[in-house]
Amino acid sequence: MVSFEPAVSVVVPVRNEADNIVPLIDEIVAALDGRWAYEIIYINDGSTDATADRLAAVMKQRPNLRQLRHAASAGQSAAVRSGVRAARGAIVATLDGDGQNNPVFLPDLIAAVENGGERIGLAAGQRVGRKDTGFKKLQSRIANKVRSTILHDGTRDTGCGLKAFRRDVFLMMPYFDGLHRFLPALMRREGYEIAYVDVIDRPRRAGVSNYGFFDRLWIGIMDLAGVWWLIRRKKPTPVATEVM
Protein backbone atom coordinates (compact mmCIF):
# COMPACT_ATOMS: atom_id res chain seq x y z
CA MET A 1 0.00 0.00 0.00
CA VAL A 2 1.29 3.43 -0.98
CA SER A 3 1.98 5.55 2.14
CA PHE A 4 2.47 8.89 0.34
CA GLU A 5 0.39 11.19 -1.82
CA PRO A 6 1.54 10.75 -5.42
CA ALA A 7 1.33 13.59 -7.93
CA VAL A 8 0.90 11.12 -10.81
CA SER A 9 -0.94 7.83 -11.12
CA VAL A 10 -0.01 5.52 -13.99
CA VAL A 11 -2.96 3.31 -14.93
CA VAL A 12 -2.33 0.12 -16.92
CA PRO A 13 -5.27 -2.12 -17.93
CA VAL A 14 -4.26 -5.74 -18.58
CA ARG A 15 -5.85 -9.06 -19.40
CA ASN A 16 -3.65 -12.14 -19.72
CA GLU A 17 -0.37 -10.23 -20.06
CA ALA A 18 1.78 -12.23 -17.62
CA ASP A 19 4.92 -12.17 -19.76
CA ASN A 20 4.73 -8.41 -20.27
CA ILE A 21 4.31 -7.42 -16.61
CA VAL A 22 7.89 -7.22 -15.34
CA PRO A 23 9.60 -5.59 -18.34
CA LEU A 24 6.91 -2.91 -18.69
CA ILE A 25 6.98 -2.01 -15.00
CA ASP A 26 10.77 -1.71 -15.17
CA GLU A 27 10.41 0.71 -18.08
CA ILE A 28 7.79 2.80 -16.28
CA VAL A 29 10.05 3.07 -13.26
CA ALA A 30 13.04 4.04 -15.42
CA ALA A 31 10.98 6.77 -17.12
CA LEU A 32 9.52 8.34 -13.97
CA ASP A 33 11.91 7.76 -11.07
CA GLY A 34 13.29 11.02 -9.71
CA ARG A 35 10.84 13.16 -11.71
CA TRP A 36 7.52 12.79 -9.90
CA ALA A 37 6.09 11.12 -6.82
CA TYR A 38 4.03 8.45 -8.57
CA GLU A 39 2.11 5.22 -8.18
CA ILE A 40 1.48 2.46 -10.73
CA ILE A 41 -1.99 0.92 -10.78
CA TYR A 42 -2.50 -2.27 -12.76
CA ILE A 43 -6.10 -3.24 -13.39
CA ASN A 44 -6.21 -7.01 -13.82
CA ASP A 45 -9.29 -7.34 -16.01
CA GLY A 46 -10.31 -10.93 -15.34
CA SER A 47 -7.01 -12.54 -16.34
CA THR A 48 -6.89 -16.33 -16.40
CA ASP A 49 -3.11 -16.67 -16.77
CA ALA A 50 -0.32 -15.84 -14.30
CA THR A 51 -0.86 -12.06 -14.48
CA ALA A 52 -2.06 -11.82 -10.85
CA ASP A 53 0.90 -13.83 -9.54
CA ARG A 54 3.45 -11.79 -11.50
CA LEU A 55 1.96 -8.56 -10.17
CA ALA A 56 1.89 -9.88 -6.61
CA ALA A 57 5.58 -10.80 -6.84
CA VAL A 58 6.57 -7.33 -8.09
CA MET A 59 4.42 -5.61 -5.44
CA LYS A 60 6.69 -7.10 -2.76
CA GLN A 61 9.60 -5.14 -4.26
CA ARG A 62 7.79 -1.97 -5.32
CA PRO A 63 5.52 -0.41 -2.68
CA ASN A 64 4.17 2.11 -5.17
CA LEU A 65 2.65 -0.69 -7.31
CA ARG A 66 -1.02 -1.53 -6.78
CA GLN A 67 -3.22 -4.21 -8.33
CA LEU A 68 -6.98 -3.95 -8.79
CA ARG A 69 -8.84 -7.04 -9.97
CA HIS A 70 -12.05 -7.47 -11.92
CA ALA A 71 -13.59 -10.86 -11.15
CA ALA A 72 -14.51 -11.14 -14.83
CA SER A 73 -13.33 -9.21 -17.85
CA ALA A 74 -15.29 -5.97 -18.21
CA GLY A 75 -13.33 -4.44 -21.09
CA GLN A 76 -10.68 -1.77 -21.47
CA SER A 77 -12.90 1.24 -20.78
CA ALA A 78 -14.13 -0.27 -17.52
CA ALA A 79 -10.57 -1.14 -16.52
CA VAL A 80 -9.32 2.39 -17.18
CA ARG A 81 -12.24 3.83 -15.23
CA SER A 82 -11.56 1.53 -12.25
CA GLY A 83 -7.95 2.68 -12.24
CA VAL A 84 -8.80 6.37 -12.47
CA ARG A 85 -11.34 6.11 -9.66
CA ALA A 86 -8.74 4.45 -7.43
CA ALA A 87 -5.94 6.84 -8.41
CA ARG A 88 -4.50 9.22 -5.83
CA GLY A 89 -2.66 11.49 -8.26
CA ALA A 90 -4.19 14.66 -9.69
CA ILE A 91 -2.71 13.67 -13.07
CA VAL A 92 -3.39 10.22 -14.50
CA ALA A 93 -1.29 8.68 -17.26
CA THR A 94 -2.41 5.58 -19.14
CA LEU A 95 -0.72 3.08 -21.41
CA ASP A 96 -1.56 -0.36 -22.75
CA GLY A 97 -0.14 -3.35 -20.92
CA ASP A 98 1.13 -5.25 -23.96
CA GLY A 99 4.39 -3.31 -24.31
CA GLN A 100 3.52 -1.60 -27.60
CA ASN A 101 3.29 1.77 -25.81
CA ASN A 102 6.80 2.85 -24.80
CA PRO A 103 6.87 4.43 -21.29
CA VAL A 104 9.74 6.67 -22.36
CA PHE A 105 7.06 9.07 -23.66
CA LEU A 106 5.23 9.32 -20.33
CA PRO A 107 7.27 12.31 -19.04
CA ASP A 108 6.42 14.40 -22.12
CA LEU A 109 2.71 13.64 -21.75
CA ILE A 110 2.62 14.33 -18.01
CA ALA A 111 4.62 17.55 -18.40
CA ALA A 112 2.24 18.76 -21.14
CA VAL A 113 -0.70 18.51 -18.74
CA GLU A 114 1.24 19.85 -15.77
CA ASN A 115 2.60 22.86 -17.65
CA GLY A 116 -0.65 23.55 -19.48
CA GLY A 117 -2.40 24.70 -16.32
CA GLU A 118 -6.19 24.82 -16.32
CA ARG A 119 -6.29 25.18 -20.10
CA ILE A 120 -5.07 21.65 -20.97
CA GLY A 121 -7.22 18.72 -19.94
CA LEU A 122 -5.54 15.95 -21.94
CA ALA A 123 -2.20 15.15 -23.56
CA ALA A 124 -2.72 12.50 -26.24
CA GLY A 125 -0.07 10.32 -27.82
CA GLN A 126 -0.13 10.26 -31.62
CA ARG A 127 1.51 7.19 -33.07
CA VAL A 128 4.10 7.34 -35.82
CA GLY A 129 5.68 4.29 -37.45
CA ARG A 130 2.82 1.99 -36.43
CA LYS A 131 3.62 -1.73 -36.34
CA ASP A 132 0.27 -2.95 -37.70
CA THR A 133 -0.58 -4.67 -40.97
CA GLY A 134 -1.38 -2.61 -44.03
CA PHE A 135 -5.08 -3.55 -43.75
CA LYS A 136 -5.31 -2.38 -40.13
CA LYS A 137 -3.57 0.87 -41.03
CA LEU A 138 -6.13 1.43 -43.80
CA GLN A 139 -9.01 0.72 -41.41
CA SER A 140 -7.51 3.15 -38.93
CA ARG A 141 -7.15 5.91 -41.51
CA ILE A 142 -10.77 5.52 -42.62
CA ALA A 143 -12.09 5.40 -39.05
CA ASN A 144 -10.05 8.41 -37.96
CA LYS A 145 -11.22 10.40 -40.99
CA VAL A 146 -14.89 9.61 -40.33
CA ARG A 147 -14.57 10.31 -36.60
CA SER A 148 -12.74 13.58 -37.14
CA THR A 149 -15.28 14.74 -39.73
CA ILE A 150 -18.24 14.03 -37.44
CA LEU A 151 -16.81 15.07 -34.06
CA HIS A 152 -14.31 17.76 -35.11
CA ASP A 153 -11.99 16.63 -32.33
CA GLY A 154 -8.81 17.74 -34.13
CA THR A 155 -7.11 14.40 -33.40
CA ARG A 156 -5.53 12.13 -36.00
CA ASP A 157 -5.14 9.09 -33.71
CA THR A 158 -7.48 8.34 -30.80
CA GLY A 159 -6.46 4.68 -30.51
CA CYS A 160 -3.10 5.26 -28.83
CA GLY A 161 -3.11 4.10 -25.21
CA LEU A 162 -0.48 6.66 -24.19
CA LYS A 163 -2.38 9.55 -22.61
CA ALA A 164 -2.21 11.86 -19.61
CA PHE A 165 -5.12 13.84 -18.23
CA ARG A 166 -6.53 15.58 -15.20
CA ARG A 167 -8.28 13.04 -13.00
CA ASP A 168 -11.03 15.41 -11.89
CA VAL A 169 -11.99 16.24 -15.48
CA PHE A 170 -12.10 12.56 -16.49
CA LEU A 171 -14.45 11.76 -13.64
CA MET A 172 -16.82 14.57 -14.69
CA MET A 173 -17.44 12.87 -18.05
CA PRO A 174 -20.42 10.62 -18.74
CA TYR A 175 -19.22 7.02 -18.59
CA PHE A 176 -19.94 4.48 -21.33
CA ASP A 177 -18.18 1.46 -22.77
CA GLY A 178 -15.66 2.84 -25.26
CA LEU A 179 -15.11 6.12 -23.42
CA HIS A 180 -11.32 5.87 -23.61
CA ARG A 181 -11.49 6.01 -27.42
CA PHE A 182 -13.25 9.38 -27.45
CA LEU A 183 -11.34 11.32 -24.81
CA PRO A 184 -10.25 14.19 -27.11
CA ALA A 185 -13.82 14.92 -28.25
CA LEU A 186 -15.19 14.66 -24.71
CA MET A 187 -12.43 16.85 -23.28
CA ARG A 188 -13.27 19.52 -25.84
CA ARG A 189 -16.92 19.11 -24.90
CA GLU A 190 -15.99 20.09 -21.34
CA GLY A 191 -14.16 23.17 -22.62
CA TYR A 192 -10.56 21.94 -22.36
CA GLU A 193 -7.79 21.96 -24.94
CA ILE A 194 -5.70 18.98 -26.04
CA ALA A 195 -1.91 18.76 -26.22
CA TYR A 196 -0.43 16.28 -28.69
CA VAL A 197 2.78 14.30 -28.37
CA ASP A 198 4.21 12.16 -31.20
CA VAL A 199 5.11 8.69 -29.91
CA ILE A 200 6.81 5.79 -31.63
CA ASP A 201 4.86 2.55 -31.76
CA ARG A 202 6.62 -0.78 -31.31
CA PRO A 203 5.70 -4.47 -31.67
CA ARG A 204 4.02 -6.41 -28.89
CA ARG A 205 6.58 -8.28 -26.78
CA ALA A 206 4.59 -11.43 -26.03
CA GLY A 207 1.08 -12.84 -26.13
CA VAL A 208 -1.84 -11.83 -28.34
CA SER A 209 -4.24 -8.90 -28.37
CA ASN A 210 -7.03 -9.19 -25.80
CA TYR A 211 -9.00 -6.05 -26.58
CA GLY A 212 -10.63 -5.04 -29.85
CA PHE A 213 -9.46 -2.09 -31.95
CA PHE A 214 -11.53 0.96 -32.80
CA ASP A 215 -9.74 0.71 -36.15
CA ARG A 216 -12.68 -1.54 -37.12
CA LEU A 217 -15.13 1.22 -37.89
CA TRP A 218 -18.24 -0.93 -37.71
CA ILE A 219 -17.56 -1.75 -34.05
CA GLY A 220 -17.48 1.90 -33.01
CA ILE A 221 -20.26 3.33 -35.17
CA MET A 222 -22.88 3.35 -32.38
CA ASP A 223 -20.42 4.91 -29.94
CA LEU A 224 -19.60 7.55 -32.54
CA ALA A 225 -23.28 8.43 -32.90
CA GLY A 226 -23.67 8.57 -29.12
CA VAL A 227 -20.71 10.92 -28.64
CA TRP A 228 -22.02 13.15 -31.44
CA TRP A 229 -25.35 13.32 -29.57
CA LEU A 230 -23.62 14.18 -26.28
CA ILE A 231 -21.68 17.01 -27.92
CA ARG A 232 -24.82 18.38 -29.55
CA ARG A 233 -26.69 18.33 -26.23
CA LYS A 234 -23.96 20.08 -24.24
CA LYS A 235 -24.92 23.50 -22.90
CA PRO A 236 -22.48 26.09 -21.53
CA THR A 237 -21.85 25.62 -17.83
CA PRO A 238 -23.19 28.72 -16.04
CA VAL A 239 -20.96 30.62 -13.65
CA ALA A 240 -22.49 30.34 -10.18
CA THR A 241 -21.76 33.09 -7.69
CA GLU A 242 -22.70 32.72 -4.06
CA VAL A 243 -24.78 35.60 -2.69
CA MET A 244 -23.87 36.55 0.86
pLDDT single digits (tens) 154-209: 676 777 899 999 999 999 888 877 777 788 888 888 889 999 999 998 877 765 56
Q: Which residues contact 43 (CB under 8 A, 6 or more apart)?
A: 11, 12, 13, 14, 67, 68, 69, 70, 79, 80, 82, 83
Q: What pLDDT, in 10s, does the model give residues 99-129?
A: 999 999 999 999 999 999 889 999 999 988 6
DSSP state of 166: E
Which SS3 state, helix, strand or coil, does residue 120 take?
strand
Backbone φ and ψ of 166, nearest 5°: -80, 125
Per mean pLDDT, which range of 8-12, 62-66, 182-186, 205-209 is the poorest?
Answer: 205-209
pLDDT-derived band at 46 (thresholds 50, 70, 90) equals very high
Going by C-alpha positions, the residue among 158, 42, 204, 102 that lies closest to residue 150 is 158
Going by C-alpha positions, the residue among 5, 68, 80, 82 that lies closest to residue 36 is 5
Report the distance separating Cα 75 and Cα 127, nearest Å. 22
Mean pLDDT over 121-143 rounds to 70
Mean pLDDT of the chain: 84
Q: What dihedral angle (degrees, nearest 10) is formed by the CA atoms of 200, 153, 213, 104?
A: 20
What ranges do the domains of the chain cover?
A: 8-133+156-211
Question: Is 219 a residue whose pLDDT tops 70?
Answer: no
Global confidence as pTM: 0.82
Mean pLDDT over 119-148 rounds to 70
CATH 3.40.50.300 fits 8-133+156-211, yes or no: no
Question: Is 20 a residue whose pLDDT tops 50?
Answer: yes
Question: Is 217 a residue whose pLDDT tops 60?
Answer: no
Backbone φ and ψ of 70, nearest 5°: -95, 130
